[in-house]
Amino acid sequence: MRIGIDVGGTNTDGVLMQGREVLAWAKKATSADVTSGIKDVLQSLLGTNVQPKDIGAVMIGTTHFTNAVIQRRDLVPTGVVRLCLPAGEAVPPLYDWPRDLQAVVGNHRHLAHGGHEFDGREISPLDADELARIADKLTDAGVNALAIVGVFAPVTPEHEQRASEIFRARNPQVEIALSHEIGRLSLLERENATALNASLAPLARRTMRGFRNALAEMDIQAELYVTQNDGTLMSADFAEQYPVLTFSSGPTNSMRGAAFLTGLSDAMVIDIGGTTTDVGVLSGGFPREASFAVDIGGVRTNFRMPDLISIGLGGGSLVREEGHRIGPDSVGYQIRERSLAFGGDELTATDIAVASGWVELGDPERVANLPEETRSQAQTTIHDLIAQAVDQLRTSPDPVPVIVVGGGSILVHGDLDGASEVHKPEHFLVANAIGAAIAQVSGEVDQIFSLETMSRQAAIGAARDQAHARTIQAGALPDTIEVVELEEIPLPYLPSSAIRIRVKMVGQL
Amino acid sequence: MTESNTVWYVDAEAIENIAVGAGILGTGGGGNPYVGKLMVRRCLDEGAVIPVVSLDAVTDDATAVSVGGMGAPTVSVEKIQRGDEPIVALRALEQYAGRRADYLVPWEIGGTNSTRPLVQSAYSGLPVVDADSMGRAFPELQMCTFSIYGVPCTPAAIADVRHDVALFPKTATTKLLEKYARAVTIEMGGSTGFAFPLMSGAELKRTAIPGTLTLAKEIGRVVREARQTLTDPVAALLSVSGGEVLFRGKITSVHRTMTRGFAKGEIELEGMEDDRGDNLLIEFQNENLVARRGETVIASVPDLISIVDTNTAEPVTTEVLRYGLRVAVVGIPAPQLLRTTRALEVVGPRAFGFNFDYEPLAGEYGAGRIAQTSLS
């Protein structure tokens, strides 16, 4: 048996699963310390007839770190050292960040000698004295989080590793994030992600401790995993070091969960929460990825993120102008205090669903005298908002199957324009947690190969072998491993025969 | 041109607009102007004044030099430049030629080279001429109006991040300069700054494509305004570029190969809306070269074939092509200087190895911009 948990900003959801079967589910409030919310969920899931020792693995998905960046909280002052000189001066580190986020991490940005050319030559040798001077400056400024970013480090990581040793020797307390372990080629985006990662280090430590404590207090000794952006798992130790790898795991888990619950691998997924609705596309059981750079809290990164459209419609969205306008403002998690059906005095989208008899919630009498025109107009507005988002993501005019999940799915009733069928799977409230529970492990290779000494086929073969070995290392059962991505990227405008190959494989635990 | 003796100054708004417009004029290649935009913004932060003067304001006896960056976009987004490489090359060139530059001029308005001269203006104080030698992006150096219309490409200079300089006093053809300079660029780490050709104001006015910085800026302005006001950015793009939508569809397959340092390949699209039931095939070599609807060629070089996102008009470069993207394929008529018999020998379909003749798209390059300018 395994447990999937989704720690959101408002709720902590959990499911207990055996094979493909959902044995139990629970939804509790997220606690400030994370631990007690998870404990509540675990308690509820285990009940009386499941023993802690029956649990083989616990998978947690969390939006904790994304929210921290978006809300500019729990981030610590962070040094950024870019190994690049004499290159790199034209755009300093974190230059394109929003001012308020720059203020939080502080101005501790340094350029230093080092880094490599595309073919592995040094741009300049690493200068240990220069780095020691920077280390002392950071220590004097009380900065204990550090991002080290070397030019072409994803291809040649050596300078980042040596620089890291130099900094650690000067200040054993410093928490260091190395860019080659976090992102791909494209320096500014990778640097941004690395700096955010370093800045999240104390929060990551506290959060993982919270996760582990909750398990320990419930006597669960199972392996603890955390889901990452692509819907696959990493160990809790790894997640503690790389919190940025969870940035888009929320929508990914919900879409993977939706695929699992319906058995559909190609469909549109509509995840309706309290304030927003995310619409994304499932292709082959995985979210379709966005092809453009993705902003997290106003910072450009080059993570692969699901291609999502977010609209300001949720269960708590305020209804105005006789139902002509709904959202984007919302009562959010206060729905049970502020919406009409629950005794409040705000008319929300949920009240429309209650008044329409789509759902039994609160006190229907309190919305009974809503004008018929407002109610029917609001129904139309809700429907149109969702149908427009679906239409924007469609790749053909043919109707597509649609899966509706999330706490606000009561807002979808009956047919939807552009949908061939509308699925509201059982357990749609906890699709996120199910997505976490069914997550697989992965192995990835992203490397530049020189075709002067090997053929293209041999290079691809080498990359595949390496990815396969990494997937097994991550704990995958060998006969479940499959290739989910294989991409060849030539390096244009250079006549040298080099090619970048990216391979990702996944497998089941 | 209707503008004369005009000067405008690059400000924060203008550089945002130029970056968007230059991406679209890059026709799939030319590199992403994002890093270049940040470089310009940083110069502006530090108080730089970057004047852009119209082509006809340049006097015949003035000296103008084209500057920009050379190398692989994959390298330049990873190895951020030192910044002043092209000016270092320029100073070496001036010393060799015994002439001082009065003006900088963009080589290529499409992609990242639209912004490099602006940065160099900030470093050197020299004004930038509102013109370039391509009106778009092309994969090789000789595919420029300077060379096509007889401006010698040498002496030429390139410089790297160490401020090492390679000087090419003379090469027989621009194609050879391309070959040698690119070989040195690889040894210099895959990206360099260049300065060439050095020419008189008269030569520049005879050969350059006028108004292209303004065109990039105007395309960016209307597209960004449309995004903000939730009107159609693709329609906005057409209104100033003089272009038309050739096809709307989704990308169904992308095939890439690597030949002599160029990303070559084919993109297949499946029609949507009015084009439903039809397929489009686009062949590219860094930039998009030919668009075929079924067997029929509907657009080819030197006309511009730009693939943009249907919702945002964000350019889809050959590096981010992906299955499932919904795009509009926009055809923009090439500038007249690229449509002459002489030019077509260098930038027409046969120059790229195709065995058909160029059939020009109707309309005029930047037609909407010219109309708008005369209105204002």
Same domain, B118 and B78: yes
B1 — pLDDT class (breaks 50, 70, 90): very low
Is residue A382 over pLDDT 60? Answer: yes
Is residue A5 over pLDDT 90? Answer: yes
pLDDT at position B375: 39
Same domain, B238 and B139: no
Which DSSP string corresponds to B12-36?
HHHHHHHHHHHHHHTTT-S--THHH
d(CA A190, CA A178): 10
Same domain, B241 and B148: no
Same domain, B203 and B350: no
Instruction: Report yes or no: B71 at the A interface, CB cutoff 8 Å.
Output: yes
Whether B43 maps to a domain, the answer reads yes
Is residue B209 over pLDDT 50? Answer: yes
Count of CB atoms situated within 10 Å of the CB of B253: 12
Is residue B3 over pLDDT 50? Answer: no
Going through B185-261 in order, the beta strands assigned E by DSSP cover 191-200, 209-210, 244-259
What mean pLDDT, rounded, does chain A reach?
Answer: 90
B93 — pLDDT class (breaks 50, 70, 90): very high
Is residue B227 over pLDDT 90? Answer: no
pTM: 0.87
Same domain, B256 and B289: yes
Is residue B311 over pLDDT 70? Answer: yes
Residue range A179-220, pLDDT digits in tens: 998 888 889 999 999 999 999 999 999 999 999 999 999 999
d(CA A407, CA A274): 7
Whether B287 maps to a domain, the answer reads yes
Same domain, B57 and B153: yes
Q: Residue B57 has what DSSP assignment?
A: G
Same domain, B201 and B79: yes
Whether B124 maps to a domain, the answer reads yes
Nearest Cα residue in chain A from B181: A494
A396 — pLDDT class (breaks 50, 70, 90): low
What are the C-alpha distances in Å from B118 to residues A217, A218, B49, B76?
A: 62, 63, 10, 17
pLDDT at position B4: 47
CATH of the domain at B94: 3.40.1610.10
Reduced to 3 states (helix: H, G, I; strand: E, B; else coil), residue B65 is strand
**In Å, how far from its chain's centre is CA A131?**
33
Same domain, B136 and B243: no
Residue range A313-366, pLDDT digits in tens: 999 999 999 999 998 888 877 888 899 999 999 999 999 999 999 998 889 999
Is residue B2 over pLDDT 70? Answer: no
**Residue B75 phi/psi, 5° resolution?**
-75, -45
Which of A123, A288, A490 shows the shortest C-beta gap to B324? A288
Contact call for A86 and B263, based on CB within 8 A: no
A498 — pLDDT class (breaks 50, 70, 90): confident
The tokens 């969205």 sit on which residue? A317
**Overall number of domains in chain B:** 2
pLDDT at position B118: 98
Same domain, B119 and B253: no
d(CA B351, CA B340): 14
Mean pLDDT of A44-59: 90
Mean pLDDT of B363-371: 78
Nearest partner of B187 among A74, A119, A238, judged by Cα: A119
Whether B278 maps to a domain, the answer reads yes
Q: Look at residues B151, B175, B210 and tell me which one is the last residue of a structural domain.
A: B210
What mean pLDDT, rounded, does chain B reach?
Answer: 92
Interface test with A, best of B87, B138, B161 (most A CBs within 10 A): B161
Whether B236 maps to a domain, the answer reads yes
Whether B182 maps to a domain, the answer reads yes
Which of B78, B82, B272 shows the shortest C-beta gap to A89? B82
pLDDT at position A291: 64
Residue range B243-298, pLDDT digits in tens: 999 999 988 888 877 666 667 889 999 898 889 899 999 999 889 999 999 899 99
B129 — pLDDT class (breaks 50, 70, 90): very high
Q: Which domain holds residue B28?
A: 7-210
Same domain, B155 and B246: no
Whether B90 maps to a domain, the answer reads yes
d(CA B175, CA B182): 11
Same domain, B305 and B198: no
Nearest partner of B10 among B84, B112, B119, judged by Cα: B119
Residue range B26-35, pLDDT digits in tens: 998 887 889 9
d(CA B151, CA B208): 10
Residues 6 or more apart from A180 whose CB is under 8 A from it? A150, A153, A154, A157, A160
3-state secondary structure labels for all residues of A305-322? CECCEEECCCCCEEEEHH
Is residue B217 over pLDDT 70? Answer: yes
Q: Residue B300 has what DSSP assignment?
A: E
Q: Look at residues B177, B210, B243 and tell me which one is the last residue of a structural domain.
A: B210
Whether B325 maps to a domain, the answer reads yes
Instruction: Report yes or no: B45 at the A interface, CB cutoff 8 Å.
Output: no
Same domain, B141 and B42: yes
Interface test with B, best of A456, A494, A497, A499 (most B CBs within 10 A): A494
CATH of the domain at B247: 2.40.390.10
Contact call for A118 and B190, based on CB within 8 A: yes
d(CA A482, CA A507): 6
Q: Tell me what ipTM this predicted complex has.
A: 0.91
Residues B117 and B157 sit within 8 Å (Cβ to Cβ): no
pLDDT at position A292: 66
Contact call for A185 and B77, based on CB within 8 A: yes
